[in-house]
Amino acid sequence: MSENKSEKMSVANARKAEAIGREVLLQGWVRTRRDSKAGFSFIELNDGSSMGGIQIIADKDLENYESEIKRLTAGCSISVVGLVKESPGKGQATEVQAKSVTLHGTADSETYPLQKKRHSFEFLRTIAHLRPRTNSFGAVARVRNCACRSIHNFFQEEGFLYVHTPIITASDCEGAGEMFQVTTLDLNEVPKVPDTGTVDFSKDFFDRPSYLTVSGQLEGEIYASALGKVYTFGPTFRAENSNTSRHLAEFWMVEPEAAFFDLYDNMDLAERFLKRIFRDAMEQCHEDMEFFNLRIDKTILETLTKIVDSEFVRLPYTEAVEILTGSGRQFEFPVTWGCDLQAEHERFLTEEHFKCPVILYDYPRTIKPFYMRVNDDEKTVRAMDVLVPKVGEIIGGSQREERLDILKSRMAEQNLDTENYWWYIDLRRYGSVPHSGFGLGLERAVQFMTGMTNIRDVIPFPRTPGSADF
């Protein structure tokens, strides 16, 4: 309580009927202000705690009514002390009769870019420092926050230990080579090895080529091999020059890893996990999700509800190829056994053939990384992808190769230097166990949950080719 005995409260709580009769202190930003002929102003105040704002009624007898209140414009920041009352207005339970309004910061209406009109998402990306004040991006931030909370709650309740894996690494988990290099060398005067002319990394900070991580999986396996069930959740980086609506150079990944888990345990975990995140978003961010369903994608709530209520289909890759080739559909990318399925194939399976999420498994070994367990047929590996309608793959994972000799042969197949992975190989040498895990890109999941069409709009500050602003 402050000295004036007003209760500091969020707008979200002040909008609830149970706040009626309480004197509150509200603080936030003006969305709109309009003056009545009766000599008072209606101010819509929002503080980011909810999609909707709350209506403030400021009478003309307030001491700063003429000097400040009547000059309030969109973007101004204010504090309001007042009494929460039942609102006669449609669509709102409460309003606040102001006893005082304090102006903190002005916003020049001539230059403030967020006026009361619709702005394109492309334009809003150019003002990423202000776009969280819009309905769309405030809602994205709250849903993203809900998803992160659900991720931690889910794994903690499942008995997983949260571990922090390194952001700087010398290992390429995916073997793709699309990594950002980390160096302290002066790029204008790179030291060279005299005989070969190659870069002399002995002069660099880590004494070897080092990179920003593409995944925390390999380090997660270390802890799973000692502590049973772990998960890592943090930023990952891909130096893939893809300027598309589905790619970012920096994004967040959650990666569980569990000892004594086979592929089927992994599938069950992934299904429970997705259902939990989607259910929590619909229940805990109801107003925001209704907004996305109304303004962005009119089917999103129906889609999420169906996923939460459905049983995911388990389908071997080989059977998926048979379904696709026998469908009579002319795909942009032809399907043959051994190819990596594209989004159009994955969406056909989930949206048209099965009409529910599908977990594909047992992929050809030639298209998957070295760490995935080889099946007895020696042609496929214990990989899995969880596919959902509208986007296709949303989770990728596998049972890991726990056999020392086969792991080494797989690394040789993919021309990987085993010396760089000596510690990873050691895990198979000392007390190796069957284990599995998967990865979920947070932004891909939030994009799916909100219906936003561009992944750059579900991360606060997108990092893409040629763009590292803010």
Q: pLDDT (tens digit, 9 = 90+) per residue, 24-42?
A: 999 999 999 999 988 899 9
Mean pLDDT of 439-466: 96
Interval 222-231 mean pLDDT: 98
pLDDT at 171: 77
The answer on pLDDT for 2 being more than 50 is: no
Q: What is the pLDDT of residue 174?
A: 64
Residue pLDDT, tens place only, 170-209 = 877 665 568 999 999 999 999 999 988 899 999 999 999 9
Mean of the pLDDT values across residues 51-62? 96
The pLDDT-based confidence of 18 (bands split at 50, 70, 90) is: very high
DSSP 276-301: HHHHHHHHHSHHHHHHHHHHT-TTHH
User: What is the arrangement of strands in the sheet containing 435-441, beginning at the earlier edge strand?
Assistant: 161-162, 229-237, 250-259, 435-441, 392-399, 380-388, 358-364, 313-316
Q: Are residues 419 and 377 part of one domain?
A: yes
Average pLDDT, the chain: 95
Average pLDDT over residues 299-303: 97
The per-residue pLDDT for range 364-392, each reduced to its tens digit, is 999 999 999 999 999 999 999 999 999 89
Q: At 164, which amino acid appears?
A: H
Look up the CATH number of the domain holding residue 238. Answer: 3.30.930.10
What confidence category does residue 277 fall into, taking pLDDT thresholds of 50, 70 and 90? very high
Which residue among 87, 105, 123 closes a domain?
A: 105
Number of Cβ within a 10 Å radius of residue 208? 10
* pLDDT band at residue 109 under the 50/70/90 scheme: very high
* pLDDT, greater one: 31 or 117: 31
pLDDT of residue 162 exceeding 60, the answer is yes
Residue 4 has pLDDT above 90, yes or no: no
pLDDT at site 342: 96
Two tokens, residue 21: 């009769």
- Contact by Cβ (8 Å): 143, 449: yes
Q: In 183-325, where does DSSP find H-type helix?
A: 217-227, 263-284, 286-295, 300-309, 317-325
Same domain, 88 and 169: no
Report if residue 1 sits inside a domain: no
Are both 229 and 88 inside the same structural domain? no
The DSSP letter of residue 162 is E
Q: Containing domain of residue 429, as a range?
A: 133-179+214-457
pLDDT in the model for residue 123 = 95
pLDDT (0 to 100) of residue 1: 41
- 193 vs 199, 203, 390, 469, CA distance in Å? 6, 10, 51, 36
282 with 239, same domain? yes
Average pLDDT on 287-304 reads: 97
Q: What percent of the chain has pLDDT above 70?
A: 98
Q: Quick check: is 245 in a domain?
A: yes
What mean pLDDT do residues 268-284 have? 98
Say whether pLDDT at 3 is over 60: no
Query: Average pLDDT of 387-411?
Result: 96
Q: 470: Cβ–Cβ under 8 A, 6 or more apart, which residues?
A: 128, 129, 461
Q: Are 98 and 82 in contact (CB under 8 A)?
A: yes
Specify if 58 maps to a domain.
yes
Instruction: Give domain status of residue 203, yes or no.
Output: no
pLDDT tens-digit map of 344-362:
999 999 999 999 999 999 9
Whether 275 shows a pLDDT value over 90: the answer reads yes
* One domain, residues 294 and 416: yes
Summarize pLDDT for 68-94 with one digit per residue, the tens.
Answer: 999 999 999 999 999 999 999 888 999
Q: How many domains does the chain have?
A: 2
**Unique residue bearing structure tokens 């705690």:** 49
**100 shares a domain with 16:** yes
Same domain, 15 and 147: no
User: Which pLDDT belongs to residue 337?
Assistant: 98
Closest CA to 420 of 256, 261, 209, 202: 209
Q: Determine the average pLDDT of the residues in 103-124.
A: 93
pLDDT of residue 176: 58
CATH of the domain at 31: 2.40.50.140
Q: What CA–CA distance (Å, rounded) separates 249 from 464?
A: 5
